[in-house]
Amino acid sequence: MPTAEEMMVKNVITFRSSDKLSRVSKSFAKHRISGAPVVDDRGKVIGVISEHDIIKLGEKLPSVWTPLEHHLPLAISLSIKDYKLEKVVKALKEVGTRKVEEVMSKKVLTASPKTGLGEIARMMEKHKINRIPIVDKKGKLLGLVARADVIEAFWKHKK
């Protein structure tokens, strides 16, 4: 069975806790991703930010309604209860100026490079997560395994 090291994406898009959500949303749209690790100055994983985290923030804001069924960048999927352009602009600015640290998941499940395909898949299923940062013994990010990587590795292994 393949290991995390064999499946992982090595050139991972990351964010800092101080990054603004507007930057995150734009990056998600540009790179067609739905989440990414948050790292500190030494590259240690300290959290994960996802579209789901941003959508949850949008739901908490009284002037914003974000449909959960949409898997689009926040800037596109936002809609306002009583649609008025001024409210749309205000809501987007309000969400966009928030920082990653306000919404990121801080309890991060990570794996080592030697973790096998089966274990990665079980971790994702058990914890209902879409991506697992792969880290060294000090917690420094080495790569990322997403559900799509697991599926691809499974089918390659079955051939």
Q: Which pLDDT score is estimated for 59?
A: 64
Integer-rounded Cα Rg, in Å, for the chain is: 17
| Residue range(s) defining the domain that contains residue 94 | 4-158
Share of the chain above pLDDT 70, in %: 75
Domains: count for the chain: 1
The CATH number covering residue 12 comes to 3.10.580.10
The pair phi, psi for residue 100, each rounded to 5°, is -50, -45
- Number of helices (H), then strands (E), in the chain: 8, 4
Distance CA 94, CA 90 (A): 6
Distance CA 14, CA 56 (A): 20
If one compares 125 and 85, the residue with the highest pLDDT of the two is 125
On the question of pLDDT at 36 being above 60, the answer is yes
In this prediction, residues 80-98 reach a mean pLDDT of 60
Banded model confidence at residue 117, pLDDT cuts 50, 70, 90: very high
